[in-house]
Amino acid sequence: MSALAENNKRKKSLWLICLALIMIGFGTFLFGLAGNHPERAWQAYLVNFLLWSAIAQGGLLFSAIMHTVKARWSGPLSDLAESFTAFFPVSFGLFLILFLGKNHIFPWLHQDLHGKEVWLNVPFLFTRDCMGLLVLYGLGFAYLYHSLWLKLDRSISHGKIRKYLYKRWDRSIPDVQRCNSRMTVIGILYILAFTLILSLIGYDLVMSTDPHWYSTLFGAYTFVKAFYIGLGGLIILASILHLNPEIEFKLKPSQFHDIGKLFFAFCLVWGDFFYVQLVVIWYGNIPEETAYLIERTMTPPWNSLAWFVFIICFILPFIILLNKKIKTKPQFMSVLCTVVIMGIFLEHFLLIGPALNPHVSALPLGLTDGLIFLGFLGLISLAVMYFLNLFPELLRGETGEVK
Amino acid sequence: MATDYSVMGLFTDENQAASTIRAIKDSSWPLCRVHSPIPSHKIADALELKKSKVGYFTLAGGITGFFAGFLLAAFTAAQWNLIVSGKPVISLVPFFIVGFEFTILFAIFGNVVGLIHQMRLPEFKGLEHYDPRCSGEHFGITVSCKAGDLEKLEAFFQTQGGEVKVFAA
Amino acid sequence: MSELTFAKIDRTILDTLKPPSRIYWWTLAILFLGVLTGAACWIYQIFTGIGVGGQNNPVAWGTYLINFVFWVGIAHSGTLISAILHLLRAGWRNPIARAAETMTVFAVCIAGLFPFIHLGRVWMVYYMLPVPNQRNLWQNFQSPLMFDVVAISTYLTVSSLFWYTGMLPDLATVRDRATGLRKKIFTVISLGWTGAHEQWRHYTRGYLFFAALATPLVISVHSVVSWDFALGVVPGWHTTIFAPYFVAGAIHSGLAMVLTLMIPLRKIFHYEKIITINVLESVAKTIIFTGLIVGFAYGTEFFMAWYSQNPLEMEIFRYRPTGDYAVGFWIMVICNTTIPLLFFFKRVRTTIAWLFGISICINIGMWYERFVIIISSVSHDFIPHAWGLYSPTAIEFGIMIGTFCLFFCLFFLFVKHLPSVSMTEMKETLEQGAGHGD
């Protein structure tokens, strides 16, 4: 009985830590808004919004893909990945708040766009991105709904959401076959929406910060990046839960190895998509395209950041993950994935920063950015913890069952 | 000659073969070789094989190839030594592609050299103590013994459920 | 699948190596005539000059390049099936891996012919090789064409070695059941393989490395081929999406060719229990995936052409659907993106006639995709005064027919002399199916 009390006390302290982080982040953000440089606060907000939403969206993508291809090795991991949907409503709310900072995150607001105004204007941009996120998150929730239908343990009956779900499901008898095939359809739709909506977000919120530059691969680059860090987030979550002796979630070394391999594969894909854009623009040497690249990879202060990002997001994981044993050690993998996620945070900053801070001599990166980063981290941790608390069946992990 | 006979026990069931191997390992019979038509996990587990060293050859080849590719491209560019299309004479971005392809090519060469060296192929001597059914549906386990123990060994294989074939060593 | 046994697998596949029927010889003869036609056209071109082809100013790249990219593309899905699906542990690859890998090797050979053909003065091909010479002339490795030389030669070497290594255990199986001359030949080429545990220990590790190295090779080779176009500044060519787009398109066309080859093969050799409908269905599902990627790429290119507000980009993307080559464009879009969507219906992907028909459509569509990309961009680039049209000549058609016939000729020879399904991998599938519990 005291073990349970211990557990509850630990849970409560985790909640408090998350709340504290959120308060710190929120506070720093408000403080920044009130100061002399509100654009720095909004820049940090935008970068973090993109990063953490991508982790959540990419995390659920793993589950959708595993279900669609009927993979057999990933059962408990797919279930765990569904917990990222808890961040979806938070992310949507954060996006709506982004609207308030429009003067600071859209450098094209007062530029002459030579005809692009049809596309790049605040009402149209927000409407389409809003609807896109609603579609994506809606599909994510539909997928979750069906997945829970098959999973929820009726012996647990507290909680309003649960009661509502049970009431709905008692009205119609769940047919496992039909539920699975519906999940496949919704999963495929989620995957399609993921590629389209994340491409759209990439074009609208990142690529358009320099409205005269374009790259056809940018959309795909955005969603590949999202899957890369989504996998990283999933590995961190799985490692934390696996290493905790009191939680019944446990993975086999072969499962860690497999998801480690997938992470390695997407490290390569991300690196490849980065290089593909680089080589085409470098080689063509067309000033319209190269200005963007030169500013970010060849001129100080951004060039050192670019090299740093490349090394910790590609070179380091590549060399480390060639080794098989390392992939099976959750402690090490969680550290590596944390480093990679921070690297991709810097990469988002590298893409957006020069456009929002033209002609700076030092990187506009400071303590406030770090604190806001922690705030967002607190938000997503809170959402995932809340979800896992609500639906502990996700941690039970029936291995080997074909979902 | 240390042994007079090589006796092969032939099994059609993979599980029987694996349990026979474990039985042989527990006994004093020296296990020579196990032939199988497929790379069987069960048999590999029963034999407790070490990991193959082929990978080191591959890695060596890959590293050689990476530098060879870069050096080739850099050398040829330095011979011409004029700026072409506004690109620097020695430039990382395009030469990386040459380096990458050579990495793969030489890694594969290393892999093949490793395979030939480790498997000691081509080797036609192995065909002397071999039953052609082992490439079809049979698993063949070869144990060597002296003339006096021949009947005991044959009986052992028969109790395990296998067919017996005797080769003179 | 459950009625199969090791013995039945061996028997079904080894039966295909028996002496062939009359129809086989007649078909082979016709194909060989096609090859001779192509050779004759090429010889005529060598003596007369590259001008007998339709390529000229401004369209200097014609069907020779289209076919080059087409065949390299087809080669890629063979490696996808044998290497990438091996890494992903997808069991449905086992029945078709051997034939797919063979398709790769032959397709790369055919693809490699086209730079020679396009060279015109083929005796100068040694200019591409880094050999020390009196004038200290070396290749310019900054050129995408040199990337091609390195990439295609690497791909050919690696694919051939991968193909041969994969066949080794099967060659031993044939040796053990053959007689006379065939036995002697297979004894030599199987290198004395006995299936000993030491051999398998190294073999499985080496095969894993082959697969792991062939995977990035596939991606890089077709990226390099795409950079033949993307590294230039021509509108419609200079775009960053080309590398992944070409790789996806290559796999798309290659999978369609796999279906085109497997379906008749399956019927003629009675492989129905081995290459089951489920296997073909899995190929069809993968085609949906690659088709969607190709469609995404088409859409993105059009959107970005508008977004860029660059008059050159906008013009080329107006020209493609509405200009002189519009027919090719619409064939491309419908065959590559719309028709494969039919595979979303289970009825369609489990009916042989639909599978075969759609695979032919995709082959045609993917050929036209290369046609649209290459011809339309170059015929309609920067200065209206320099615009010009292109149409292939009879010699080019002759060479094209010759190379298609050469591919099928080689494949026909293969299926009768070497086991066209991997017996070893089929048996492995059976063991995994029986022992699956962990």
**Closest chain B residue by Cα to residue C192:** B124
**Closest chain B residue by Cα to residue C154:** B105
Q: Which residue has the tokens 């085609």?
A: C287
**Closest chain B residue by Cα to residue C197:** B34
Give the range of the structural domain holding residue A142, as residue numbers without chain letter.
Answer: 30-395
Q: What is the C-alpha end-to-end distance of chain B, expressed in Å?
A: 8
pLDDT at B3: 67
pLDDT at C30: 97
Q: What CA–CA distance (Å, rounded) separates B101 from B96?
A: 9
Tell me the per-residue pLDDT of A329-338, one tens digit each, with 9 for 90 and over: 999 999 999 9
Distances (CA, A) of C1 to A71, C402, C434: 20, 39, 11
Nearest one of B46, B3, B29, B28 to B139, comparing CA atoms? B46
Tell me which of C12, C209, C210, C224 to substitute to probe the interface with B (most B C-beta atoms closer than 10 Å).
C209
Residues B140 and B152 in one domain: yes
Distances (CA, A) of A263 to B30, B59, C351: 45, 21, 37
> 140-169 in B: which are within 8 Å (CB) of C?
none
Q: What CA–CA distance (Å, rounded) separates A312 from A314?
A: 6
The domain total for chain B is 2
pLDDT at A205: 95
Tell me the per-residue pLDDT of A114-159, one tens digit each, with 9 for 90 and over: 888 999 999 999 999 999 999 999 999 999 999 988 887 777 777 7
Given its phi and psi angles, is residue C192 left (phi above 0), alpha (psi -120 to 50 degrees) or beta? left
Whether A281 has its CB under 8 Å from any CB of chain C: the answer is yes
Tell me which of B12, B13, B52 to substitute to probe the interface with C (most C C-beta atoms closer than 10 Å).
B52
Q: Which two tokens stand for residue C126?
A: 């040694």
In a domain, A349, yes or no: yes
Option in C233, C292, C300 nearest A286 (CB):
C233
Q: What is the DSSP letter of C191?
A: T
**pLDDT surpasses 50 at A400:** no
Residue contact A114–C309, C-beta within 8 A: yes
Q: What CA–CA distance (Å, rounded) separates A55 from A228?
A: 8
- The C-side interface with A (CB below 8 A) comprises 216, 219, 223, 227, 230-233, 238-244, 292, 296, 300-301, 304, 307-310, 438
Q: Which two tokens stand for residue B119?
A: 């498997």
Q: Which residues of chain C are under the pLDDT cut of 50?
A: 1, 435-438
CB A120 within 8 A of CB A108: yes
Query: How many contacts (CB atoms, under 8 Å) link A and B?
Result: 12
Between A25 and B169, residue with greater pLDDT: A25
- Average pLDDT for residues B47-72, to the nearest whole number? 92
pLDDT at C111: 96
Residue contact A283–B86, C-beta within 8 A: no
pLDDT at A2: 66
Q: Which residues of B touch A275 (CB under 8 A)?
A: 96
Contacts of A316 (CB under 8 A, 6+ apart): A336, A339
- Average pLDDT for residues A40-47, to the nearest whole number? 93
CB B165 within 8 A of CB B131: yes
The subunits that touch chain A, with at least 3 C-beta pairs less than 8 Å apart, are: B, C
In a domain, A311, yes or no: yes
| Sheet with B139-145, edge to edge strand ranges | B31-35, B139-145, B5-11, B163-168
Residue contact C239–A288, C-beta within 8 A: no
Tell me the per-residue pLDDT of A261-319, one tens digit each, with 9 for 90 and over: 999 999 999 999 999 999 999 999 999 899 999 999 999 899 999 999 999 999 999 99
Q: Which residues of C touch A400 (CB under 8 A)?
A: 438
Whether B59 has its CB under 8 Å from any CB of chain C: the answer is no
Residues B133 and B154 in one domain: yes
Q: Which residues of B touch A282 (CB under 8 A)?
A: 93
Residue contact B130–C194, C-beta within 8 A: yes
Q: Which two tokens stand for residue B127?
A: 């065909």
pLDDT at A168: 79
Contacts of C323 (CB under 8 A, 6+ apart): C376, C380
CB A224 within 8 A of CB A262: no
The subunits that touch chain B, with at least 3 C-beta pairs less than 8 Å apart, are: A, C
CB A264 within 8 A of CB A321: yes
Buried b (16+ CB within 10 A) or exposed e, C66-75: bbbbbbbbbb
Residues B44 and B60 in one domain: no
Tell me which of A254, A268, A275 to substitute to probe the interface with B (most B C-beta atoms closer than 10 Å).
A275
- The A-side interface with B (CB below 8 A) comprises 275, 278-279, 282-283, 285
Whether A267 has its CB under 8 Å from any CB of chain C: the answer is no
Whether A284 has its CB under 8 Å from any CB of chain C: the answer is yes
Tell me which of A216, A224, A264, A267 to substitute to probe the interface with C (most C C-beta atoms closer than 10 Å).
A216
Q: Which two tokens stand for residue C30?
A: 């016709």
Q: What CA–CA distance (Å, rounded) separates A82 from A63?
A: 7
**Closest chain C residue by Cα to residue A199:** C300
Option in C219, C230, C307 nearest A116 (CB):
C307
Q: Which two tokens stand for residue C211?
A: 């697969």
Q: Which residues of B touch A283 (CB under 8 A)?
A: 87, 93-94
Q: Which residues of A touch B86 (CB under 8 A)?
A: 285
Q: How far is C422 from chain B (nearest CA, A)?
A: 11
Q: What is the dihedral of CA B60, B63, B65, B68, to 10 degrees?
A: -120
pLDDT at C387: 94
Q: How confident is the model at residue A401 (pLDDT cuts 50, 70, 90)?
A: very low
Nearest one of C120, C147, C433, C100 to C286, comparing CA atoms? C100
H-assigned helices in C80-196? 85-87, 94-119, 144-177, 180-189
DSSP assignment of A317-338, as one string?
Answer: HHHHHTSHHHHT-HHHHHHHHH
Q: What CA–CA distance (Å, rounded) separates A2 from C106?
A: 70
> Backbone phi, then psi, for B166, in 5-degree steps?
-110, 135
Q: Mean pLDDT in chain A?
A: 90
According to DSSP, the β-strands at B163-168 and B5-11 are: antiparallel
Q: Which residues of A touch B87 (CB under 8 A)?
A: 283, 285
> 75-94 in B: which are within 8 Å (CB) of A?
85-87, 93-94
Residue contact A282–B93, C-beta within 8 A: yes
CB C103 within 8 A of CB C73: no
pLDDT at A1: 53
Option in C146, C158, C197 nearest B108 (CB):
C158
Q: Which residue has the tokens 């609807």?
A: A131
Whether B37 has its CB under 8 Å from any CB of chain C: the answer is yes
pLDDT at C433: 64
Nearest one of B111, A214, A6 to C157, comparing CA atoms? B111
Q: Which two tokens stand for residue C301?
A: 């290119």
Q: Which two tokens stand for residue A310?
A: 């490349």
Out of A393-397, B28-32, B105-109, C157-161, least confident range:
A393-397
Residue type, C255: L
pLDDT at B126: 78
Option in B76, B87, B121 nearest C130 (CB):
B76
Tell me the per-residue pLDDT of A50-65, one tens digit each, with 9 for 90 and over: 999 999 999 999 999 9
Q: What CA–CA distance (Å, rounded) separates B153 from B145?
A: 8
pLDDT at A402: 30
Q: What CA–CA distance (Å, rounded) separates A329 from A381?
A: 22
Neighbours of A119 (CB within 10 A): 18
Residue contact C165–B112, C-beta within 8 A: yes
Residue contact C196–B87, C-beta within 8 A: no
Nearest one of C255, C254, C280 to C267, comparing CA atoms? C280
CB C83 within 8 A of CB C218: yes
E-strand ranges in B108-152 read 139-145
CATH of C6-129+139-429, one of 1.20.1630.10, 3.40.1160.10, 3.30.70.1710, 3.50.50.100: 1.20.1630.10
Q: Which residues of B touch A323 (CB under 8 A)?
A: none
Whether A279 has its CB under 8 Å from any CB of chain C: the answer is yes
Q: Which two tokens stand for residue A6?
A: 């211990």
Q: What CA–CA distance (Å, rounded) separates B75 from B61?
A: 20
CB A44 within 8 A of CB A373: yes
Q: Which two tokens stand for residue C251?
A: 């796999």
Q: Which residues of C touch A292 (CB under 8 A)?
A: none
Contacts of A163 (CB under 8 A, 6+ apart): A157
Residues B91 and B115 in one domain: yes
Q: Residue ranges of the domains in chain C?
A: 6-129+139-429
The residue count of chain B comes to 169
**pLDDT surpasses 60 at A403:** no
Give the range of the structural domain holding residue B28, as residue numbers without chain letter.
Answer: 5-51+128-168
Neighbours of C240 (CB within 10 A): 25
